[in-house]
Amino acid sequence: MRTGPTIHIHPAIDIRMTLARNDHCPPPLQYGWHLRRLEDIAGITIHHTLSHSPWATAVNYVRKTGGRPTIPYHFWVCSCGTILICLDLEEACWHDHTGHKNRFVSIGLAGRCHEKRPTDPQLSAAAQLIVQLIRALNLHPEEVRGHNDRSEPNGFPTTCPGWTRVRTGNWKTDLKGKITAALAHPNGGTL
């Protein structure tokens, strides 16, 4: 399904071709992954990855019971602030438990962000990425939500991404503040 970049994210490193894939994923999981148009994207979902390696994570998902097509994140934000492109935006990945027609961009912040706060470079890079996506896809900032915000109404409670936990310093407020500040600046500002 790899079709190439559809919008330009700067700075970002494209690792799509290096990640494990299972293009023969059996039903019903194959139905959770589908092609969509960019104009069908309705928001952004923030996740934590529980890992610091997108390559190991992709292998894990491909080998899971029943198999998955590949990593369930469009973007991976490393703790050093590096942004990795993992999946085409037109490839809707099942991960939010919102049904088989996922309409969201999936951003994974590397690590166990429900136990340890993301680093400042990681939060700044995530905010920069989110602002670029909001502008490129004409999204409303209120549609930037956590995995838990999207899955709990459907009966799948999760701590992911861990952004409202006291022990991690409620980093949701910090991330949303960075996004709001950058969106208020006419040129996006520097984050």
**Average pLDDT value for residue range 15-37:** 79
Average pLDDT of the residues in 78-87: 97
Higher pLDDT, 73 or 94: 73
Q: What is the pLDDT of residue 29?
A: 60
Task: Specify the range with the lowest mean pLDDT, choosing from 22-26, 68-72, 74-78.
Answer: 22-26
Domain that includes residue 61, residue range: 13-184
What average pLDDT does the chain have? 87
Query: Is the pLDDT assigned to residue 2 strictly greater than 60?
Result: no
What is the rounded distance in angstroms from the CA atom of residue 152 to the CA atom of residue 98? 9
64: in domain: yes
Domain count across the chain:
1
The answer to whether position 165 is within a domain reads: yes
Report yes or no on 102 lying in a domain. yes
Classify residue 35 as left (phi > 0), alpha (psi -120 to 50) or beta.
beta
Question: What are the distances in angstroms from CA 31 to CA 25, 69, 78, 183?
Answer: 9, 10, 29, 35
Residue 191 has pLDDT above 50, yes or no: no
Question: Does residue 189 surpass a pLDDT of 70?
Answer: no
**Percent of all residues in the chain with a pLDDT value above 70, rounded to a whole number:** 85
Is there a domain that residue 157 lies in?
Answer: yes
- The CATH code of the domain that includes 133 is 3.40.80.10
Mean pLDDT to the nearest integer, 53-76:
89
- Which one, of 67, 112, 135, lies nearest residue 127 by Cα? 135
Q: Is the pLDDT of residue 50 over 60?
A: yes
What digits encode the pLDDT tens for the residues 133-183? Answer: 999 999 999 999 988 888 876 767 888 899 988 888 889 999 999 999 999
